[in-house]
Structures are given as C-alpha cells and as structure tokens.
Amino acid sequence: MTSRISRIAIASATAAGLAIGAAACSSGSGSTSAGSSSPAPVATSDAPSAPASASAMADQPFGPACATVPASGAGSFDGMSKDPVATAASNNPALSTLVAAVKAAGLVDTLNSAQNITVFAPDNAAFAKIPKATLAKVLADKAMLTKILTYHVVGQKLTPAQLASGTYPTLEKQSLATAGSGDAYKVNSTANIVCGNVQTANANVEIIDTVLMPPS
C-alpha cells in the first residue's frame, strides 16, 4: 500500500513539473506579455522608388529642336498652349514660313476652328530645302498649296505612343505613316520630328524638318 502511494506521488510531481515547463515555454515565444519591453519588428524594404509614370512623360514636348523654343511669352510652350494652332504657330519664330503659307492658302480660320487635330508643322529649315523657284511657284498656286498643307493635318490628336507605329488619314484625304520610339520619330520615312508633342488649344503640333508631299 505504501509503495502504491509513493508511485502516485511521484507521478503527480512529474505532471506538475511538465505543466510548469510548458507554461514557461509558452510565455517566452510568439506573443509578448503586457509588461514586455521588446520593440515590435519594423518592416523595411530595399525596393527602388517608382519611376515617373509613362502618362506624365507623354505630356511633355520632346526632341532636339525644343531647346530653341522661347522660354516665355506667346511663343513658349505655355504661351502656345493657350492659342489655337494657327495663332500659336504665328508666335513661334521657327514656323514663320509655314504661317505665311497657311495665310496664302486661306487656312488660318480652318485650322483655328478645327478640334482635336495633329499638325505636322515643317519648320523654316524644312522649307529652305525646297529650291526658291519651286517654293515661289507653290506659294502662288493656292490649290496646290492647300493640297500640300492639308496633307500635314490629321483629324485626331496623336500621342507619342501612337506615333510609334501607325497610318493616319489626313485632311487632304490621303494617309501618312509614322514610326519610331523614345524621342526619335519619322513621318513617311522622310521627315524627322524635331520637336514633338507641342500642345496648342486645339491641336498637338509635331514640328518636322522636311515638307511632306502628298503621294499623288
């Protein structure tokens, strides 16, 4: 009988010891007690900052000739954005020959009143590539001049993404094609966009270095 009582006592003591040990292990792992001074872990990240969005970049003018645009005044990017396209072009010194051609063709009101268009605008250097006698003949022929100038106008606002690869109908009723990437784009494989995505009140302007000729 005494031996049986001793065995029961030993078993009880062992069970109590296991219970105390388990409680101690539970207290030292996982969660902390209310009185614990251990700081909570802080999440860290080595990921780089997100780059500027593509849409934000697409809103900016691009190309080497953009550096020649006045920094302020009516001919600046900000000034041009407030006027319709023919008026805006008249304030940009690099487009004076184009403006004279638009006036000779009687297209000022047509361009200023159009909505959501893209104008591929040859700069003065583009017109200088044409022999003077030929240019004088074109400027004197209103029908031919109108045909050439309206071939430079697309009836929708083209974004840089659309310039990467596309064919677009013009007001002259024939199509032109664009291709490129980054800040280097061509029109009909002959003209380079030297200052693109210039905003006016009613149009996107892509300044080009060669006058485009209609296919026929």
- Neighbour-count burial for 80-91, b at 16+ CB within 10 Å, e otherwise: beebbbbbbbbb
pLDDT of 132 = 95
Residue 82 backbone phi and psi in degrees, to 5: -95, -10
pLDDT tens digits along 136-174: 999 999 999 999 999 999 999 999 999 999 999 999 999
* Cβ–Cβ < 8 Å for 111, 86: yes
pLDDT of 58 = 62
117's tokens: 């268009």
pLDDT of 118 = 98
28 has pLDDT over 70: no
Cβ-based neighbours of 173, under 8 Å, separated by 6 or more: none
104's tokens: 């000779």
Percent of the chain with pLDDT over 90: 71
The whole-number average pLDDT for the span 72-96 is: 96
* Cβ–Cβ < 8 Å for 210, 190: yes
Distance of CA 97 to CAs 109, 130, 133, Å?
17, 12, 15
144's tokens: 């031919």
Edge-first strand order for the sheet with 175-181 is 153-154, 117-122, 203-208, 191-199, 184-187, 175-181, 165-169
180 has pLDDT over 80: yes
6 has pLDDT over 90: no
Maximum C-alpha span of the chain: 134
68 has pLDDT over 60: yes
Q: Give the pTM.
A: 0.74
pLDDT of 47 = 41
Cβ-based neighbours of 177, under 8 Å, separated by 6 or more: 166, 167, 168, 187, 188, 189
36 has pLDDT over 60: no
The fold of the 58-208 domain, in CATH, is FAS1 domain (2.30.180)
pLDDT tens digits along 119-142: 999 999 999 999 999 999 999 999
Which of 181, 182, 178 shows the shortest CA–CA distance to 208? 178
DSSP label of 158: P
Residue 165 to residue 207: CA distance in whole angstroms: 18
The mean predicted confidence, pLDDT, of the chain is 82
pLDDT of 41 = 46
